[in-house]
Structure 1
Amino acid sequence: MLVVLSSTAEDGEIVVSSHPKVNITKELLHTSLNRQDSRRVFLPVSENIFKRLVNICYENGLYEALETAAEPDNVAASPVVGFIATHLLRVANIFTSIRYTLHPHLRELGDNLIAAVSETRNWAHSPVRCISWHPHCTKMALATLDDSVRIYACDTPTRIIKCKTQRGIACVAWRPLSALVMAVGCDKGVFVWSLDPTSMATRPTTNCATLLKRPHHTPVTGVTWGPQGDLLLTSSATDTTMYVWDVELEEFSPVRRVDGGGVTVVSWSPCSTKLFSATTGTTFRVWDTSQWTADRWNVISGRVQTACWSPCGSVVLFCTTTEPLIYSLFVTKLFSLSTPLYQEQPSELLQSALIAADLTLMHTGDGHTVGGLVVSMAWDNKGCRLAVLFRDSPLVAVFRSSVTPTGAHLAPCCFINGSSGEIPNVISFQQNFEEGSMLTIAWSSGRIQHYPFIYSPVDNVVEYTRRSVMEHSRLMSDSSVNNSTFFNSFKSM
């Protein structure tokens, strides 16, 4: 029997008493004016056509300047400029139409593109856009609607990281094996903030930040650190190239694959030997990070929306934008498939990619709806709980999970419901919670809720199994050979 838990329940308050209590209210958010709104503050001035086009090109780009120059009034004022702009627009529109045909996702730009690929529900209006727990201590970073990052820890002042060029924050990731270093992916690139742990300043200056950017690599929609903290990988939904950065030297190495489109989802495995990347098309890849070779996979329709690794790094779970299913991929056994998996295949091939859970929309006994398409998933670092955030449901689903040499196994545990009118926007597990698993939920009201799952001694068997699988995964990876692999999702179980 599944239980719907209320977010106002007092169970577990003692366990979370040392956790920061956060509520991102409207008073805390100082949303900056956009350019259109800021222009209304000033009186309009008259300027010649050439100066106006230069300003438009600087603020909005060359294409906007050409469209302005091709307007009838501007053509009459400057026929030569209008003639050139009109013909350049025709050529540009031809190339643009071809580009949009090959990559439809590029029709969205800026914040619209980030919202389309984000793992945050209602990213454009959510008070909290990202949650990132520090891997080694009880310290939490929140990216909020006003394009700032707030760092919360018990008994310490809240630090607010913000600068005028850090807009449209899409992702935040703490650096492993460091005290206060984090990467913030946004519209302009990646800001790597290195803060002084001994400083009492609550508003660090931009001198603490390093901006990493590459041409055509914005907005940055994915960042992930290597488990040792020595390398940072960034991706953009507009760029087919990923970049692996040495942050201290500000040097990079490109990782290119032409097909599939821009890269939306990136996740380094806990064992550091593999990397998962998903594109805006049907293609996703599992990389061997020792030589940076990739196994290419495909879903039938849509794209991969979210993915997460098992703690041992042998299994990756993922969901697509068109199916209410959780797929389980056992990456230590890769097979070359020439036909779709929904056709008849030998049983050993089916075990390489299975449906772990069917999340078809359903109604609970108390009138709630749960299930449907998935926005985000989070797997705790013990491999015992998996949290699922849906696109349309007001509930967060929690599964009991385990990993064996045959793959991942999920069993329904409970549903979590917010207060009246609240919907969940972001989910994340605390990484250093020793007593069990700590799920953090950001609700649409701005309230941050911590849900502890305390394990009994019987659950130690799961931890033993995880260590056994990790050793099995290491032995398999030492003897495995990378092959080009194709995966086709199937709808029938």
Structure 2
Amino acid sequence: TVTDEHDPVMNQFLQNNTIMSSIKLDREPAPKYTTEQPSTSQELNKEDDIPAWICSKLQQAPLYGIPRVTGELCEKYIWSNKDLEENEFSLKKDPIRSMAYHPHRNMIAFADENDIVYVYEKKEKADGWSRKVLTHQFMRNITCIEWKKRARGTLAVGCQKGVCVWNIGHESSGADNVDSTSMNYLCSPGHENISSIGWDPTPGSHLLAVTSGTISTIMVYDTLSLSTMPLKRIGKGNLLLRWSPSGRWIYVATKSGTSRMWDTLDWTYKELNNPPGLWVQSACWAPNSRSLLISMHGKSDVHMIYWASSSNAAEICHEKVYSAVPAPDNVTGDDAYVGDSIKELVLCPDTGRRLAVIFDNSPTIALYAVDVDSPLTLKNKSALTKIGNIHNTLVNLPNLSTSLDSNRKPVHISLSTRFTTSNTLATLYDNDIVNFTPIIP
């Protein structure tokens, strides 16, 4: 069910179309990899026992499309040297660590705790979804995934030691039934424990920005020319990165209580201070790249970073625009609270007029109307208006329509672009059920 506090027309639409479809993730057991020993004839570097030819290769460019033997040597001499640092970087505890909706196709990807990526695509001429499973020995401790904009099926997967860039193709319809899916691997010495990734959405660009949870340097890979540009800064690491839809700005939240807004025109940045003692939990750009909505870890407030007038970095402002006060949910009962600390927030990627929010320890999804023009007159009106709460109590699986346990909580949410008359909100629950709900823009 959906409750709407302000728009009866939208409420009627959502009440009649609560669940468009559902899928149950069919997950695989954890893969087991074996690593062959490198040849004893390889020349070794006396200082750190890494083959000298690999050292020079790493200094020149990232390992991109590397031969199999090179990957084995990296496994032997690089990967085993340093484990994850406790208290500095930790993996998400959810069984599904990341979820990403394709920017312009009805396709969604999931990365789970077994370091397997699942890609589900809606069948065009039949009901149901097709499934593709992606595994590789380099995909260890997956933290994040993101689709490349303006690409048919390019998916970046952030891992412990680097980024796996998958190019997902169709299986041929001929007798050979060949799968054209391939993977390229990106890594740089010392840049490990990947925390966030972001593709440059500019047409024709092949840039991928990558942050680490243990060092503050940002690596910008050109996946076409195979070059690397490090943006070096001192610090303990970064939490998340969001590249603006226009391609000009990169927002990076650090672990030191500050954020940086990078201008890609000249690769300078402005440092922004978070509220004292807080760090960023989630963030999403407005489609016009004029504002950014963020939430803080352990808080229910929504903040906005925006440009007061010009597009100059000096004009960036930061204000709290909404606070979801914890209160009993009158639909699900007294024990379910809406307004606990925000877990994730997402905006409609094409209009920016709808914001969906999930909270820790709550089964409810809150839906807000966003005034996209509000940054220019933020002092005079509210940027967010509560529409209502979404309670996905039904599950619409093929040949089965049943109820969802009221104790099930959303783990991840993602909003698609508008395929027909509405956007689609994908909600992943902690029992591997994914519900798809239409949202009027």
Task: Give the TM-score, by structure 1 length.
Answer: 0.66
Amino acid at match of 1:22: I
**What is the correspondence of 1:73-84 to structure 2 with a 5 Å cutoff?**
none
In structure 2, how many angstroms separate the alpha carbons of the residues matched to 1:374 and 1:423?
A: 13
Residue 171 to residue 414, structure 1, CA distance change in 2 (3 Å)? same
3-state SS of 1:295 partner? strand
What is the CA-CA distance between 1:380 and the residue it aligns to? 0.6
Contact persistence 1:394–1:423 (CA under 8 A): yes
Q: 1:426 aligns with which of 402, 409, 412?
A: 412
**What is the correspondence of 1:363-442 to structure 2 with a 5 Å cutoff?**
363-365=328-330, 366-367=333-334, 368-381=336-349, 382-404=351-373, 405-407=376-378, 409-418=383-392, 419-420=404-405, 421-442=407-428
Match of 2:240 in 1: 265
* TM-align CA RMSD: 3.3
Whether 1:146 and 2:114 are equivalent positions in the alignment is yes
**What is the correspondence of 1:286-325 to structure 2 with a 5 Å cutoff?**
286-299=261-274, 300-325=276-301
Match of 1:454 in 2: 440
Match of 2:67 in 1: none
Q: Between the two proteins, what is the percent identity of the paired residues?
A: 23
Q: 1:278 aligns with which of 253, 272, 280?
A: 253
In structure 2, how many angstroms separate the alpha carbons of the residues matched to 1:34 and 1:197?
A: 26
Contact persistence 1:384–1:401 (CA under 8 A): yes
Residue 106 to residue 280, structure 1, CA distance change in 2 (3 Å)? farther
3-state SS of 1:107 partner? coil
Amino acid at match of 2:361: D
Whether 1:171 and 2:144 are equivalent positions in the alignment is yes
What is the CA-CA distance between 1:63 and the residue it aligns to? 7.8
What is the CA-CA distance between 1:336 and the residue it aligns to? 10
Which deviates the most, 360-369 or 288-297? 360-369
Contact persistence 1:362–1:369 (CA under 8 A): yes
Match of 1:160 in 2: 133
Q: 2:325 aligns with which of 360, 367, 370?
A: 360
Amino acid at match of 1:152: Y
In structure 1, how many angstroms separate the alpha carbons of the residues matched to 2:100 and 2:313?
A: 36
In structure 2, how many angstroms separate the alpha carbons of the residues matched to 1:204 and 1:283?
A: 45
Amino acid at match of 1:113: S
What is the CA-CA distance between 1:328 and the residue it aligns to? 1.1
Whether 1:30 and 2:29 are equivalent positions in the alignment is yes
In structure 2, how many angstroms separate the alpha carbons of the residues matched to 1:308 and 1:446?
A: 24
Contact persistence 2:300–2:340 (CA under 8 A): yes
Residue 202 to residue 151, structure 1, CA distance change in 2 (3 Å)? farther
3-state SS of 1:176 partner? coil
Contact persistence 2:284–2:347 (CA under 8 A): yes
What is the CA-CA distance between 1:264 and the residue it aligns to? 1.3
Match of 1:194 in 2: 167
What is the CA-CA distance between 1:2 and the residue it aligns to? 4.8
Match of 2:200 in 1: 226
Whether 1:247 and 2:223 are equivalent positions in the alignment is yes
Residue 240 to residue 60, structure 1, CA distance change in 2 (3 Å)? closer
**What is the correspondence of 1:124-143 to structure 2 with a 5 Å cutoff?**
126=95, 128-143=96-111
Residue 158 to residue 323, structure 1, CA distance change in 2 (3 Å)? closer
Whether 1:331 and 2:307 are equivalent positions in the alignment is yes
Q: 1:140-189: per-residue Cα shift (whole Å, max 9, x none)?
A: 11222332112211227421111122122211111112112111111221
Contact persistence 2:207–2:221 (CA under 8 A): yes
Give the number of equivalent residue pairs. 360
Amino acid at match of 2:151: S
Residue 147 to residue 203, structure 1, CA distance change in 2 (3 Å)? farther
Amino acid at match of 2:278: G
Q: 2:90 aligns with which of 106, 113, 123?
A: 113
Residue 369 to residue 183, structure 1, CA distance change in 2 (3 Å)? same
Whether 1:216 and 2:187 are equivalent positions in the alignment is no
Q: Which runs of 5+ in 2 are unaligned?
A: 35-75, 124-128, 393-403
Amino acid at match of 1:356: V
Residue 63 to residue 158, structure 1, CA distance change in 2 (3 Å)? closer
What is the CA-CA distance between 1:417 and the residue it aligns to? 3.0
Residue 451 to residue 255, structure 1, CA distance change in 2 (3 Å)? same
What is the CA-CA distance between 1:250 and the residue it aligns to? 2.1
Residue 62 to residue 453, structure 1, CA distance change in 2 (3 Å)? closer
What is the CA-CA distance between 1:279 and the residue it aligns to? 0.7
**Structure whose CA Rg is larger:** 1
What is the CA-CA distance between 1:203 and the residue it aligns to? 9.8
What is the CA-CA distance between 1:372 and the residue it aligns to? 2.1
**What is the correspondence of 1:60-71 to structure 2 with a 5 Å cutoff?**
none
Contact persistence 1:114–1:219 (CA under 8 A): no
In structure 1, how many angstroms separate the alpha carbons of the residues matched to 2:178 and 2:368?
A: 39
Task: Give the TM-score, by structure 2 length.
Answer: 0.73
What is the CA-CA distance between 1:190 and the residue it aligns to? 0.2
Q: 1:79-136: per-residue Cα shift (whole Å, max 9, x none)?
A: xxxxxxxxxxxxxxxxxxxxxxxxxx95336xx6122xxxxxx42xx2x322212112
Match of 1:45 in 2: none
Larger strand share, 1 or 2? 2
Contact persistence 2:79–2:161 (CA under 8 A): no
In structure 2, how many angstroms separate the alpha carbons of the residues matched to 1:152 and 1:284?
A: 34
Larger helix share, 1 or 2? 1
Match of 2:54 in 1: none
3-state SS of 2:91 partner? helix
